[in-house]
Amino acid sequence: MSSKRALRLTALALAALCLALAVTGSAAPPREAGTAPAQAPDIPLPELRGSLHRSYIDAGGEFRPGDALTRGELAGFIFRLLGDAAVPGEYFPDAPEGSEYGEAMAALRALGLMEADEEGLGRPDEPVSASGLYGLLGRLTGGGARALTLSVSSTASVSRAQAVAAINRALGRSADREAAEDYLALFDDVPYGHPAYYDLLEAATEHSALSGAGELWTWSEDPGYEPGFNLYGTELYYIDPATLTPLRDGYVGELYFGADGAYTSGDELLDGYVREALSGLLEPGMTRWEALRAAYDYTRDSFSYLRRNYYLFRETGWAHDEAITMFETGRGNCYCYAAVFYYLARQLGYNCTIISGRVGSDGDPHGWVEMLIDGRWHIFDPELEMAWRERGRDFDFFDMTYSEVPWPYTK
Instruction: Give DSSP secondary structure letters for 181-219.
Output: TTS--SBTTB-TT-TTHHHHHHHHS-EEEEEESEEEEEE
Strand partners, 368: 355
**What integer pLDDT is reported at residue 34 of this predicted model?**
54
Length of the chain as a residue count: 411
Tell whether the model's pLDDT for residue 264 goes beyond 90. Answer: yes
Which one is the CATH code of 268-410: 1.10.3820, 3.10.620, 1.20.120, 3.30.1380?
3.10.620
Provide mean pLDDT across the span 209-223: 84
HSE of 376, CA atoms in CB hemisphere, 13 A? 8
Q: What percent of the chain has pLDDT over 70?
A: 85
Lowest mean pLDDT among 31-40, 43-52, 254-263: 31-40
Query: In terms of DSSP H, where are the helices of 46-180?
Result: 71-82, 102-110, 130-140, 160-170, 177-180
> Which of 179, 178, 174, 154 has the alpha carbon at shortest distance from 164?
174
Q: What percent of the chain has pLDDT over 90?
A: 63
Tens-digit pLDDT profile for residues 98-128: 999 999 999 999 998 999 999 999 999 999 9
| 27 CB burial (10 A radius; 0-12, 13-18, 19+) | exposed
For 211: left if phi > 0, alpha if psi spans -120 to 50, otherwise beta; the answer is beta
Q: How far is CA 220 from the centre of its chain?
A: 18
Local confidence band at 324 (pLDDT 50, 70, 90 cut-offs): very high
Alpha-carbon distance of 193 to 196, in angstroms, equals 8
**What integer pLDDT is reported at residue 45 of this predicted model?**
62
**What integer pLDDT is reported at residue 232 of this predicted model?**
86
Mean pLDDT value across the chain: 86
Where in the sequence of the chain do the CATH 3.10.620 domains occur?
268-410
The total of other beta-carbon atoms located within 10 Å of residue 86's CB is 21
**What integer pLDDT is reported at residue 3 of this predicted model?**
43
**What integer pLDDT is reported at residue 22 of this predicted model?**
28
The total of other beta-carbon atoms located within 10 Å of residue 376's CB is 10
Long-range contacts of 10-15 (CB under 8 A, 24+ apart): 12/210, 12/212, 12/216, 13/210, 13/216, 13/218, 15/212
Contact present, 92 and 187 (Cβ < 8 Å) = no
